[in-house]
């Protein structure tokens, strides 16, 4: 179940000063619904007959980035396989945890599951059976809702609207009518909460409270300029090649007494003839250098 993960996230949120209940968790859920259990099972069998094992493997590998084809099709998936995958171990761990519905996970059963229900649970039964399972997930997993996946379209959606929603409304867990004019955020978090909560880190960037960082004072660039000037002047002192005068802004001016000291028109090409010292060095410089000579 997802409960340990949900509990941990709520705990971390509380440690950051947030209301842990303000974070909403929605689980993927695939319902296969029939007016009777026999009808629901017949729908499942029909889906299984047309499902593609290869297609399921491709879907799984595409979603997770794990090449499950490296494991023999009917070999049981173990925790060691999860470590070997070294990709999304939380996903693989879900397929190493057995249950009554899945006593043994192999790439084949993973593919069959993925080809119908994706990576989430699949529940097959009457509207009451499916509603029972959803309420169990809400209670035991501490979920706030579901992201319903479909197997067929529009078939799955028609079954949800015509069969499942009336059962959920009968139980009082699905609204009869949603008030008009609510934003998507209000429909999830409640009327009036149409912006980020004040305890959300993102609220600090709201227009009316956002504080811009102080303008860049240029302290670091000035320090870099000074270091660049000192380095070049130390080198040129042994050659008498040139004098570097750093000016404000992103460019610097290289001043030379004569063409013999600094030949060419661009700093990237300069050579001081006395010792062959090249400017610039192999390391990239923080700014472009231009040559101006003779010195004004």
pLDDT category at 1 given cuts 50, 70, 90 is low
Model confidence at 200: pLDDT above 70: yes
Residue 34: the pLDDT is 97
Residue 66: the pLDDT is 74
pTM, 2 dp: 0.62
DSSP label of 58:
H
CB-based contact 160:32 (threshold 8 Å)? no
pLDDT category at 18 given cuts 50, 70, 90 is very high
Neighbouring residues of 158: CB distance < 8 A, sequence distance ≥ 6:
none
Question: 94 is written with which tokens?
Answer: 């879900």
pLDDT digits (tens, 9 = 90+) for 265-282: 344 444 343 444 344 444
CB-based contact 283:247 (threshold 8 Å)? no
Which CATH architecture best describes the domain 3-195? Alpha-Beta Barrel (3.20)
Q: Tell me phi and psi for residue 149, to 5 degrees.
A: -95, 155
Put the strands of the sheet holding 252-255 in their side by side order: 243-245, 252-255, 289-292
Q: Average pLDDT, stretch 56-74?
A: 81
Q: Is 180 left (phi over 0), alpha (psi -120 to 50) or beta?
A: beta
Q: Average pLDDT, stretch 141-151?
A: 94
Q: Average pLDDT, stretch 46-60?
A: 87
Model confidence at 58: pLDDT above 90: no
Residues 31, 23: Cα–Cα separation, whole Å: 25
- The closest of 131, 110, 145 to 31, measured between CA atoms, is 131
Residues 112, 105: Cα–Cα separation, whole Å: 11
Model confidence at 152: pLDDT above 60: yes
Average pLDDT, the chain: 75
pLDDT digits (tens, 9 = 90+) for 24-37: 999 999 999 999 99
List C-alpha distances in Å: 10 to 15, 16, 18, 142, 198. Answer: 9, 10, 9, 10, 17
Residues 111, 102: Cα–Cα separation, whole Å: 13
Model confidence at 185: pLDDT above 50: yes
Question: 136 is written with which tokens?
Answer: 């169990």
CB-based contact 292:255 (threshold 8 Å)? yes
Neighbours of 183 (CB within 10 A): 12
Q: Is 240 left (phi over 0), alpha (psi -120 to 50) or beta?
A: left
Q: Tell me phi and psi for residue 33, to 5 degrees.
A: -115, 140
The bridge status of strand 277-279 relative to strand 270-272 is antiparallel
């Amino acid at each position: 179940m997802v409960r340990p993960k949900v509990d941990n996230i709520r705990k971390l949120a509380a440690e950051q000063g947030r209301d842990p209940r303000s974070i909403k968790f929605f689980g993927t859920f695939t319902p296969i619904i029939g007016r009777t259990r026999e009808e629901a099972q017949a729908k499942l069998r029909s889906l299984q007959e047309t499902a593609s094992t290869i297609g399921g493997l491709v879907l799984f590998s595409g979603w997770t980035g794990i090449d499950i084809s490296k494991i023999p099709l009917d070999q049981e998936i173990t925790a060691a396989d999860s470590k070997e995958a070294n990709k999304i171990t939380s996903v693989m761990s879900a397929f190493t945890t057995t249950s009554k519905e899945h006593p043994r996970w192999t790439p084949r059963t993973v593919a069959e599951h993925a080809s119908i229900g994706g990576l989430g649970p699949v529940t097959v039964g009457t509207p009451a059976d499916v509603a029972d399972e959803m309420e169990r997930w809400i209670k035991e997993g501490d979920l706030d809702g579901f992201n319903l996946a479909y197997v067929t379209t529009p078939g799955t959606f028609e079954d949800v609207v015509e069969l499942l929603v009336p059962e959920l409304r009968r139980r009082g867990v699905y609204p009869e009518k949603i008030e008009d004019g609510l934003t998507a955020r209000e429909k999830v978090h409640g009327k009036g909460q149409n912006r980020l909560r004040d305890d959300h880190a993102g609220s600090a960037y709201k227009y009316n409270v956002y504080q811009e960082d102080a303008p860049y004072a240029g302290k670091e660039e000035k320090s870099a300029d000074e270091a660049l000037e000192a380095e070049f002047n130390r080198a040129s002192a042994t050659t008498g090649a040139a004098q570097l005068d750093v000016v404000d802004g992103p460019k610097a001016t290289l001043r030379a007494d004569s063409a013999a000291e600094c030949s060419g028109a661009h700093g990237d090409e300069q050579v001081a003839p006395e010792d062959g010292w090249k400017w610039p060095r192999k390391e990239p410089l923080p700014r472009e250098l231009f040559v101006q000579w003779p010195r004004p």
